[in-house]
Structure 1
Amino acid sequence: MLYHFLYPLHTVFTGFNVFRYITFRAIGGAVTAFLIVLFLGPVFIRTMQRFQIGQVIRDDGPETHLAKKGVPTMGGVLILFGITLATLLWARLDNVLVWLGLFIILFYGMIGYIDDYRKVKKQNSKGLSAKGKLILQVIGGGVVGLFMYYHPGFDGHLSLPFFKNIHPDLGWFYVVFAIVVIVGASNAVNLTDGLDGLAAGPTIVTAAVYLVFSYLAGHVVLAEYLRLPYVAGSGELAIFCGGIFGGCLGFLWFNAYPAQMFMGDVGSLALGGALGSIAIIIKQEFLLAIVGGIFVMEALSVIMQVGYFKMTRGKRIFLMAPFHHHFEKKGWHETKVVVRFWIVSIILGLFAIATLKLR
């Protein structure tokens, strides 16, 4: 919005020329989202407390989590508000890819909101049915997959880190692949959101990395030089990524141990879906498995635990799944688990950026 109002005035005042640059607007989006969440956070917390909208704790979780019962939840609403407003202010609104990103984050946010609302209303950890949630997620992922498959200049070839000359073509199956990536990312972030600040940290790192890759993918010269798939217009997604970065950073101010509020499924499902959709749009799907390694590990720990439990009729690989609970059961304090997961996420983020030259 600011681009459309202020950039045309650069002929009158040359200072407005800065709105031409994606890098400037991405930083502006990040700072705006951060400030929105930071300043509205206290108001949101008081409102949730007034209406008694608090976290519902699972009965079979660590005993230390019982103290979290009643802490204001659904903070994802605040995160999504900050991201959406920041993106609308700083991105070019004539870019259809920006609207696609906003669609998926708000659609998945709606799914999470329904899930959270049912949990709070029933006062138990069972919200929207797994089947119902999955169907809605598949619909959202399918919209992105179909849109990109028929988007001008887009094709079904995959981009693999480390293998510059290998680009398998999935053809129409790319739509199914997109659904798997987006739905998988959404649920993986949701599973990670189990400790104070745990999901927000890796999301911040992942958003920062995809901000860089979105900018590069939308720059024809840099994309060709770095052997990245060029996706026209994808540079504007850097503003969207900046919004995710800033929104989650502002949320972390209140979500750091001991948490004053939780993001809930409205936040975790939406953020994961957004990251997955960005990966699809800029053709960096497998990069998500690297920079989002924490999310992958958490999801795999649940899959392995459930599968092994059924195969062995009651035996477990981990003391408890998702993976972060395993370390809690081993005696690690919650903050130690979270900070060490953040460290791993930062290392994975740096490694993901390094793949730019390892192709």
Structure 2
Amino acid sequence: MIFLINKYLNFKIFTFISFRIIFSLLTSFCINLLVIPYFISYFKKIQKFQIIRIDGPIKHLDKNNIPTMGGIFIIISICLSVLLYCNLHNMYIWYVLFIILGYGLIGLLDDYKKIKCNNSIGLKIFWKFFWLSIIAILIIYVMYSNEKNNIYIELIIPFYHAIPLKINFFYIFLSYFVLLGSSNGVNLTDGLDGLAIMPVIFVSFGLGLIAFFSSDLNLINYINISYSDKASEMSVLCASIVGSGLGFLWFNIHPAKIFMGDVGSLSLGGALGIISILLHQELLLLLMGGIFVFETISVILQIIYFKVRKKRIFKMAPIHHHYEIKGLSEPIITIRFWIISFILLLIGIISLRIHDVI
């Protein structure tokens, strides 16, 4: 939209990427800030609230009067900002939007079924993973079918260097694993007020920074990032995620007035996954998104150990519930996880090591 305006008004400042990054962030932030209060009031009026797990922490039963599905407005604010400020001729933007909308739809169906059936089950795990996989496989196929120059396919190893790769089974499997892992990692982390959204903001900022510099041929000689003339446009999209996340956090911070639901967590996790794939920073996502990895591993370990030994490693999984049952208050757990996430972001940025200049 901003490029169309510039075509008729010839205001070149509108097309500067720094301008579009700032206004994309502010626009998505303001949309959530203005719209979410009405959504909260409406859901309270029709008595549609978050369905709390019966087997979860007892304290969480007090949250059964809080509206959910706030992720709808996270998606709306991101999409509107992208349509306004991004160059829509860039296919990378459409890849990310496809994942956001596709995974958001699956999350929406999951949330809707929970509310309709008045339980915390939602979609069965098999069908949830099935549809997430279908969307992942479809976008991976489209992406790599459109990839004309395989020289840009490479795996960047933090603190090391980039390894050129062909588009083969390994790389396709890695992309599939990143998409499903990131979406479910954010979904599992979204269990306390504000816990998931701040790490999403941090990781989006880190990926946006990388995207911003990815089209600079001079800079990539010194920093461990992959060159792409299309990637810099995703910095505008990442800014919209940061702004939307901040706008949602305004109402999601403890005590939360609204939850994002699966519609928000699956779409945001999927967005981080697809952006990291397009930037060839899949391994860096594991580092910067270490909180999501930690939460996911805690669930996997709990399940495996219980099946083998009939005992539990943690009092409850994901790991944030373990600390909650041990007596730590919700704000303390959340803020400490935020601190860890911020440190991981800094480590991730440092890992883009400066190459030796000869």
| Partner Cα separation in structure 2 for residue 101 and residue 25 of structure 1 | 18
Find the partner of 1:58 among 45, 53, 58. Answer: 53
**In structure 1, the residue corresponding to 2:225 is in which secondary structure?**
coil
Length-normalised TM-score, structure 1: 0.95
Unaligned runs of 5+ in 1: 11-15
**Alpha carbons 1:44, 1:78 under 8 Å: kept:** no
Asked whether 1:3 is paired with 2:3, we answer yes
CA deviation after TM superposition for structure 1 residue 165, in Å: 5.5
Q: Which residue of 2 aligns with 1:40?
A: 35
- Shift in alpha-carbon separation, 1:63–1:358, aligned structure 2, 3 A: farther
- Shift in alpha-carbon separation, 1:143–1:215, aligned structure 2, 3 A: farther
**In structure 1, the residue corresponding to 2:65 is in which secondary structure?**
coil
Find the partner of 1:96 among 70, 86, 91. Answer: 91
Asked whether 1:226 is paired with 2:223, we answer yes
Asked whether 1:26 is paired with 2:26, we answer no
Length-normalised TM-score, structure 2: 0.95
Counterpart amino acid of residue 96 in structure 1? M
Find the partner of 1:303 among 291, 296, 300. Answer: 300
**Alpha carbons 1:7, 1:19 under 8 Å: kept:** no
**In structure 2, the residue corresponding to 1:220 is in which secondary structure?**
coil
Counterpart amino acid of residue 93 in structure 2? V
Q: Which residue of 1 aligns with 2:291?
A: 294
Q: Which residue of 1 aligns with 2:332?
A: 336
CA RMSD of aligned residues (A): 1.5
CA deviation after TM superposition for structure 1 residue 153, in Å: 2.4
**In structure 1, the residue corresponding to 2:195 is in which secondary structure?**
coil
Equivalent residue runs for 1:1-359 within 5 Å: 1-6=1-6, 9-10=9-10, 16-150=11-145, 151-154=147-150, 156-164=153-161, 166-167=163-164, 169=166, 171-313=168-310, 315-357=311-353
Map Cα deviations across residues 68-105 of structure 1 (whole Å, 9 max, x no partner): 01210000001101000011101011111111111110
| Partner Cα separation in structure 1 for residue 173 and residue 231 of structure 2 | 22
- Shift in alpha-carbon separation, 1:283–1:43, aligned structure 2, 3 A: same
| Partner Cα separation in structure 1 for residue 285 and residue 114 of structure 2 | 30
| Partner Cα separation in structure 1 for residue 333 and residue 77 of structure 2 | 28
**Alpha carbons 1:302, 1:322 under 8 Å: kept:** yes
CA deviation after TM superposition for structure 1 residue 19, in Å: 2.4
Counterpart amino acid of residue 16 in structure 2? Y
| Partner Cα separation in structure 1 for residue 226 and residue 134 of structure 2 | 26
- Shift in alpha-carbon separation, 1:165–1:286, aligned structure 2, 3 A: closer
Counterpart amino acid of residue 126 in structure 2? K
| Partner Cα separation in structure 2 for residue 9 and residue 325 of structure 1 | 55
Counterpart amino acid of residue 92 in structure 2? L
| Partner Cα separation in structure 1 for residue 7 and residue 40 of structure 2 | 37
CA deviation after TM superposition for structure 1 residue 219, in Å: 2.9
Q: Which residue of 2 aligns with 1:13?
A: none
**In structure 2, the residue corresponding to 1:158 is in which secondary structure?**
strand
Question: Aligned residues: percent identity?
Answer: 44
| Partner Cα separation in structure 1 for residue 225 and residue 238 of structure 2 | 18
CA deviation after TM superposition for structure 1 residue 50, in Å: 2.0
- Length, aligned pairs only: 353
| Partner Cα separation in structure 2 for residue 215 and residue 8 of structure 1 | 27
Counterpart amino acid of residue 341 in structure 1? F
| Partner Cα separation in structure 1 for residue 228 and residue 250 of structure 2 | 35
Counterpart amino acid of residue 299 in structure 2? V
CA deviation after TM superposition for structure 1 residue 167, in Å: 4.3
**Alpha carbons 2:183, 2:273 under 8 Å: kept:** yes
Moved more, 342-351 or 165-174: 165-174
| Partner Cα separation in structure 1 for residue 292 and residue 329 of structure 2 | 20
| Partner Cα separation in structure 2 for residue 337 and residue 239 of structure 1 | 31
Map Cα deviations across residues 269-303 of structure 1 (whole Å, 9 max, x no partner): 00000000000111110010111000000000000
| Partner Cα separation in structure 1 for residue 17 and residue 201 of structure 2 | 19
Map Cα deviations across residues 123-160 of structure 1 (whole Å, 9 max, x no partner): 10000111111111111211232233232224543111
**Alpha carbons 1:142, 1:176 under 8 Å: kept:** no
| Partner Cα separation in structure 1 for residue 139 and residue 211 of structure 2 | 16
Counterpart amino acid of residue 335 in structure 1? P
**Alpha carbons 2:33, 2:248 under 8 Å: kept:** yes
- Shift in alpha-carbon separation, 1:231–1:148, aligned structure 2, 3 A: farther
